[in-house]
Amino acid sequence: MHKILYFAVFICGVLGVQSQSITGSELLDKAIAYHDPNGQWPTFKDSLKVVMETPNNSSRESIIYLNLPKEVFNLTVKKEENTAQYQIEQDNCNISFNGKRNFTEEEKATYRLDCDRAFMMKDYYTYLYGLPMKLKDPGTNLDPKVATKTFKGKTYLVLKVTYDAVVGKDTWYFYFDPTTYAMEVYQFYHKEADNDGEYILLSGIETFKGIKMPKTRKWYYNKDDKFLGTDILSHPN
């Protein structure tokens, strides 16, 4: 027992020293070296398939095409009998619903068929599947101090991130394996004092153009650990 306790204290001590000796920007560089070792993200061009499963609801399948150099984003969303398509090329946006470009105001409101939604989804998927590389974007503020935190029974190196007001108002925390620097958890708060927001557990790896992306994301509320849903990433058939 004494040996086990000593080992645990030793490991915590090593991690504490490591977190004190590495800066936030250095930790991010190591994480990017793990996830995108060949620097492919700026020229990324590929398709992703994401299936979202939520409690007491039917699954939703999304096929996402990203061409970052040409600023192209195509999203096809299938749920039950309906299919919505959002196409963005630079500032141009086109939407179709069940193969039609013309749809009713009721359909537009019910299924959120508008360009604001299209650009929001572009930002959402580009950000989440571009992590941790997206933390190099302008307006991103890295805390220079790296924390050590145990979360769900595992000890991580944790990077705190805030954003310029024009970029975003949430506070994010990114949890990296202290040995491989793989990103395994991220967490955000709208108002941290209220313990609102969500945390996302990452597992598995899918590789696209040499980039290691988390295969499975499980979403939970911070305040009560309520399970919200799962995103599963794969290559389209």
- The domain locations on the chain are 2-234
Looking at residue 16, its pLDDT comes to 53
**Rounded to an integer, what is the distance from CA 33 to the centroid of its chain?**
17
- List the chain residues with pLDDT less than 70: 1-20
pLDDT digits (tens, 9 = 90+) for 108-126: 999 999 999 999 999 999 9
Amino acid in the structure at residue 226 = K
Any idea which fold 2-234 has? outer membrane lipoprotein receptor (LolB), chain A (2.50.20)
pLDDT digits (tens, 9 = 90+) for 125-167: 999 999 999 999 999 999 999 999 999 999 999 999 999 999 9
The span from the CA of 151 to the CA of 168, in Å, is 25
Looking at residue 172, its pLDDT comes to 98
Taking the model in full, what pTM does it have? 0.89
Looking at residue 15, its pLDDT comes to 55
Looking at residue 21, its pLDDT comes to 86
* Exposed e or buried b per residue across 126-157, where buried means at least 16 C-beta atoms within 10 angstroms of its C-beta: bebbbbbbebeeeebebbeebbbeeeeeebbb
